[in-house]
Chain A
Amino acid sequence: MFDIGLTHYLVVSIVVFCLGVAVMATKRNAIGILLGAELVLNAAALNFVAFGRYRVPGLDGQLAAVFVIVLAAAETALALAIFLNFYANHATIDVDQGASLKG
């Protein structure tokens, strides 16, 4: 067997990040997009932790990861509030219906 190193974490992080982006870009459901965003944020958090473990001594990486998690929670709360308003206006949470900013 081979040792698990930084690279492995980063690959996982990239995969998760890409999945997140793909979910965000393809889902029409607002909740789905929120899920994608959570994936992207978690990929970032994973990166922080991995770099904190392997490269930067101390607790900086973990600290940043905790920040990301708090940020994600706050962001989710905000996003859900937006979705509620969106729903109140459009009676749906299909984001493609909210194209009134079309140029």
Chain B
Amino acid sequence: MATALQACLLLGVFIPLASFVFLAFFGSKLGGAARRHEHAHHENSHGHAEHGHPAAAAPGEPLAGWVATAAIAASLILALIATFIWAGGDGESRRAWSEQAAHGAALWTNLGSVPIHFGVNLDSLTVITFLMVTICSTCIHVFSVGYMAGDPRFARFFCFLSLFCFSMLGLVIARSLLFLFIFWELVGVCSYFLIGFWFEKKSASNAAIKAFVVNRVGDFGFVIGLGLCLVYLGTLSLDSAPAVFEAGARAAGWSSTELSAAAAAVPAEQAAHAARLFTTLLWGVPLATWLGIGLFCGAIGKSAQFPLQVWLPDAMEGPTPVSALIHAATMVAAGVYLVARVFLLLTPGAQMFIAVVGCITLTMAALIAIVQTDIKRVLAYSTLSQLGYMVFGLGVGAWVGALYHLLTHAFFKALLFLGSGQVIAGCHHEQDLRKMGGLASKMPNTAIAFLIAVLAISGAGLPWLNVGLGGYFSKDEILAVAFYRHFNADKPAAEHAAGERAAGDVAALGSGVPVLLAANESAHAAQSHGDDPQAGHAAARPAPHAAPPVSRVPAALFWLPIVIAYVTPFYMGRCFILAFLGRPRDEHIHAHARETPIMYRPLLVLAGLTVVSSIPVFLFRPFVAHAAPGHAPLVPAISGDDHALHAAHQWLPAIVGFAWVVGLGSAWLLYRNGLALAERIRRAPVVHLLHHVLWNKFYFDHVYGFVLVGGTKVVAVICRLFDNWVIDGVINNAAYVFERLARFSGVVLDNRGVDGAVNGLGGGLWSLGGLLRRFQTGLARNYILLAALGVCALVVAVLSGGQASWALALFVAAAAALLTPWEQVRRGLMGER
């Protein structure tokens, strides 16, 4: 069974890859021939399909789309099979399958002494997330075939979509953090390609670059987290890292809970090494916390959390199916998925950081969403806000709630985006809510599906009856855990004081995050430092705990999400009412609006799935709950089923149970007659100011533009001056010196010295030859005379006792005197010729 499960999941991952490769090479050759003039026409209109001319067929259309769809549908079928197998197993057999899968992992490489395995991380979360991704992807593929009709790069779109599916599914099944990171970057690059799909539009290519660059900032933190993991834990595997981490925490005296079996099996040496994570401080914060924050930084980038949220709204420049698939349902949720996967590597400090970031994001994004007028941007900010909820949920320990929200959100947000895609496509690519209105009569199916999604995101439900849609259960669970951690976190007496102090500091300091972390760590330090940590613990708590101490979260972290639970239905209701209800505000658009079956049918499927995923006892939530970390030694993982949450479940419906009624109702009151009333309110003095702040998204883009882009420009100018003056100066002067040296070497040394020596030698020999030539007069008499002279010289030499030099000198002198052309010399002296 384990083999079958692995085979299903791995095949499911690689089929889209095959589709990608196929489409990359043959995509544009599929289907009908391209029509050149149509092609040119579409280039001019930025590739938007002209719905007035449905006959236009781009290369590869529609066959390329169906190839990609078939691939992801095959993955969906495999995912369904895997889900059925998994659902059929009881707890024991599931554990056995997971272990078998762990043993089946193939060694890919060794990083130093750390082995990296490629294999399927088989657990309930993997299976259910895999299912969610394939379902959403399949619906969106089908929708895209309709939406992208007539686009000149039709085949390329599906090519990228397949690559994305491969990457996202690979990310879901990765069992090593390194593989997770690789697929993480792959989905990032797909996102880049698809945001900038219509790259002729300057805003689209800019948005793509912005998304990519902002994500690099987050990934920088991710890499730091990976590095800390690698160095201190000595493993990147998602199974063994938490065990080593726990053993290290125990060795450092941080945790007093009972060790899990895996952690107990960690060698003492490795545990001692890992303990340094907890004892080494960086800026007063232990490295273990930095590890968690570092990994979370990756999630901040990918899930567009504060302060890196700026890229997601701009990513709406991509085609709407892309927004639905990548920037709402799957990829942006990957950040949450990552945090859930490394949940056991978090310290309380890191967890508090996550909660604060999530809380800021969900608040800020929801407020901005109120004033947006672009239908896709409203959805983008609502995505930010919902992701904020998930991150916040993980931050307060609502592991199950956060991931359940991830699943339900994926369905209803994909539905919302596809709905908006149908609206946009049906309205001639008009995205401005102010020009819509009354579309429900023209697009009844879309309107119904959209309404279901709006109700789901609003958390519509009937309290105490246990009936509700989507967010009603998932968001509720997150809020319940926050409620519990704010009101009835029961702490052992020994920690109470420290916890109180930390909470007090937090409240006093607002959201100064580093200080807040320090406060939290100090709480921990106070807890673990006694005379002797072990003895201290033994005194305070005679018996080991099964669960970590649960500290109290500050009031803001409870009340802000509650307030935003009221804001969410308001802005979603506003969006729905402005688009579908009321009188049409632009007659022309309204007259031509229509919906297409290929687009609205996937909507209806997703609407059905939204309803199905809302059933808390069916499939989705049980799977997530099954995957929850049962043993979390440092940070609490609290499930909504927990007994301790009884009070929360009693009180929460009263606090927030009817938020959807209030929110949707107020939206109805404000917008049922169009924008006039809202416009009047907007003009009011204080509201006007507020609107300005929200309209400019809290000035984040301005500040980043000024500080980061402007700062970079200033640095660039300084660099340019440095380059022009210092570096160029050095280079130019050096070049001048070398030029002079070369000139000296060439002209003086080479031309005069070396050449002079060589030529001089040659010339000298030439002259010598000329001199010796004179002896060769060709006259026999001269030769005889010379021979006689030679004899005379010999005689002289013999007679002078062997002093031959005299004889030689005599001989040469006589020969020279004899042979000098005296006549010529005379002529030369007299100046004759």
Contact = CB atoms under 8 A, between A and B. Distances in A.
Q: Do these two chains really belong together in a complex?
A: yes
B776 A24 contact: no
Nearest to A28: B781
A99 B779 contact: yes
B676 interface: no
B788 A21 contact: yes
A102 B784 contact: no
A26 B784 CA distance: 10
A71 B785 CA distance: 22
A69 B420 CA distance: 138
Interface in A3-37: 21, 24-28, 33
Nearest to B769: A103
Interface in B740-777: 772-777
A95 B783 CA distance: 12
Contacts of A102: 776-779
A102 B819 CA distance: 13
Contacts, number: 39
B546 to A, nearest CB: 120
Contacts of B779: 95-96, 99, 102
B780 interface: yes
A100 interface: yes
A28 B781 CA distance: 8
A103 B776 contact: yes
B778 A25 contact: no
A43 to B, nearest CB: 12
B778 A24 contact: no
Question: Which 5 interchain pairs have the tightest Cβ spacing?
Answer: A103-B776, A102-B778, A99-B778, A101-B778, A103-B773
A95 to B, nearest CB: 5
A51 B784 CA distance: 27
Contacts of A33: 780-781, 784
Contact of B778 (A21, A27, A28, A103): A103
Interface string A57-98: 000000000000000000000000000000000000001101
A24 B774 contact: no
A36 to B, nearest CB: 8
A21 B775 CA distance: 19
A24 B784 contact: yes
A67 to B, nearest CB: 21
Nearest to A100: B778
A26 B780 CA distance: 10
24 contacts: A24-B784, A24-B788, A25-B781, A25-B784, A25-B788, A28-B781, A33-B780, A33-B781, A33-B784, A95-B780, A95-B781, A96-B779, A98-B780, A99-B778, A99-B779, A100-B778, A101-B776, A102-B776, A102-B778, A102-B779, A103-B773, A103-B775, A103-B776, A103-B777
Contacts of A99: 777-779
A82 to B, nearest CB: 11
Contacts of B788: 21, 24-25
Nearest to B774: A103
B452 to A, nearest CB: 120
Contacts of A24: 781, 784, 788
B496 to A, nearest CB: 124
Given A102-B776, A103-B777, 19 more contacts: A24-B781, A25-B784, A26-B781, A27-B781, A33-B780, A33-B781, A95-B779, A95-B780, A95-B781, A96-B779, A98-B778, A98-B780, A99-B779, A101-B776, A101-B778, A102-B778, A103-B772, A103-B774, A103-B775
Interface residues of B, number: 13
Nearest to B776: A103
Contacts of B780: 33, 95, 98
A24 B773 CA distance: 23
B818 to A, nearest CB: 10
A74 B151 CA distance: 118
Contacts of B772: 103
Contacts of A95: 779-781
A26 B781 CA distance: 7
Contacts of B774: 103
A96 B782 CA distance: 10
A24 B780 CA distance: 9
A27 B772 CA distance: 25
Contacts of A26: 781
Contacts of B775: 103
Nearest to B788: A21
A96 to B, nearest CB: 6
A66 B569 CA distance: 150
A22 B772 CA distance: 24
Contacts of A21: 784, 788
A33 B784 CA distance: 10
A21 B773 CA distance: 24
A9 B193 CA distance: 124
A33 B779 CA distance: 13
Interface in B200-246: none
A103 B775 CA distance: 8
A21 to B, nearest CB: 5
A21 B786 CA distance: 11
Contacts of B778: 98-103
B504 to A, nearest CB: 119
Q: Select the residue from A27, A95, A99, A100 with max chain B CB neighbours within 10 A.
A: A99
A11 B778 CA distance: 33
> Which interface residue of B776, B779, B785 has the most chain A CB atoms within 10 A?
B779
A40 to B, nearest CB: 10
Which residue, of B774, B778, B781, B784, has the highest number of chain A Cβ atoms within 10 A?
Answer: B784
Interface string B339-374: 000000000000000000000000000000000000
B817 to A, nearest CB: 15
A102 B774 CA distance: 8
A35 B775 CA distance: 25
B634 to A, nearest CB: 109
A28 B785 CA distance: 13
Interface string B558-570: 0000000000000
Nearest to B773: A103
Contacts of B773: 103
Nearest to A102: B778
A15 to B, nearest CB: 14
A66 B534 CA distance: 136
Interface in B775-801: 775-781, 784-785, 788
A73 B209 CA distance: 115
Contacts of B781: 24-28, 33, 95-96
